């Protein structure tokens, strides 16, 4: 029973090691998601800033275009007193009206662009503020996760030391080899109790002869799932 007791203790340690290793693997995944979200926010901010530059350039071009067209209208108005016939005057007035109508539409477009520029500037300010807050939160989360991982690694190191001690003091090499082979194939449980003459690993019945041999202290494996089995003291 010494080997069985040692294997039971070893399995408890291995279970804790397995759980900690899963935690250590999962923690960086959570951090990676936070970092990816932050990068996505940063890219969205850069896109907004790029949009702002584009529309500011378009606004400047339209302002220059309006100035040019207003200069044309001013020139045309100056020509009103220079025309010699009513026909020429009428044609010039129509041209002035057309230019004024075009300029009015251009002014409306410029006003809309100014409004859009203001909205984008506000959005950029909000995103920068949010990004600054998220950067602080990300740094805090990163520090917290790194601290947790450090503590988990320390626990892992202590468990490996305990595992080594158990192996050195209570497990024969061939039994350890069997245990570790089963653990690799079956996951967390390599050794399980027989309860009511059933293997608790696979819930299949164990032959009475095997149960008797277990009570005599012999090392046996389940004929169905191949796990190491033992009888509880109260069975």
Together in a domain, 214 and 106:
no
Residue 14: closest CA among 200, 167, 146, 154: 167
Question: Mean pLDDT, to the nearest integer, of 145-165?
Answer: 95
What is the model's pLDDT at position 208? 94
What is the model's pLDDT at position 127? 96
Domain that holds residue 202: 177-231
Together in a domain, 150 and 199:
no
Q: What is the CATH number of the domain that holds 40?
A: 1.10.287.1490
What is the model's pLDDT at position 63? 94
In a domain, 96, yes or no: yes
What is the model's pLDDT at position 235? 52
CB < 8 Å & 24+ apart, contacts of 214-220: 217/1, 219/3, 219/4, 219/175
What is the model's pLDDT at position 1? 60
What is the model's pLDDT at position 180? 94
What is the model's pLDDT at position 84? 83
Higher pLDDT: 167 or 187? It is: 167
Together in a domain, 92 and 157:
yes
Together in a domain, 134 and 223:
no
Question: Mean pLDDT, to the nearest integer, of 65-94?
Answer: 87
| 77 Cβ contact partners less than 8 Å away, ≥ 6 residues apart | 96
pLDDT digits (tens, 9 = 90+) for 62-71: 999 999 989 9
pLDDT at 124 over 90: yes
């Amino acid at each position: 029973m010494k080997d069985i007791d040692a294997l039971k203790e070893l399995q408890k340690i291995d279970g804790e090691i397995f759980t900690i290793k899963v935690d250590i693997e999962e923690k960086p995944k959570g951090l990676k998601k936070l970092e990816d979200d932050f990068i996505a926010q940063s890219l969205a901010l850069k896109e907004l800033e790029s949009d702002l530059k584009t529309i500011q350039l378009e606004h400047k071009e339209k302002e220059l275009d309006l100035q040019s067209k207003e200069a044309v209208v001013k020139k045309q108005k100056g020509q009103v007193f220079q025309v010699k016939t009513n026909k020429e005057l009428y044609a010039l007035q129509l041209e002035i009206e057309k230019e004024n109508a075009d300029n009015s539409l251009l002014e409306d477009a410029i006003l809309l662009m100014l409004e859009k520029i203001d909205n984008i500037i506000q959005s950029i300010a909000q995103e920068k503020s949010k990004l600054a807050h998220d950067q602080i939160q990300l740094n805090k989360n990163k520090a917290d996760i790194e601290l947790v991982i450090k503590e988990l690694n320390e626990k892992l190191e202590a468990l490996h030391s305990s595992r080594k001690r158990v192996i050195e003091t209570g497990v024969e090499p061939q039994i350890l080899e069997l245990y570790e082979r089963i653990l690799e194939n079956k996951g967390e449980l390599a050794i399980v109790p027989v309860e009511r003459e059933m293997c608790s690993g696979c819930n299949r019945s164990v032959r009475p002869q095997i149960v008797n041999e277990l009570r005599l202290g012999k090392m046996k494996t389940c004929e169905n799932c191949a796990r190491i089995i033992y009888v509880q003291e109260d069975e």
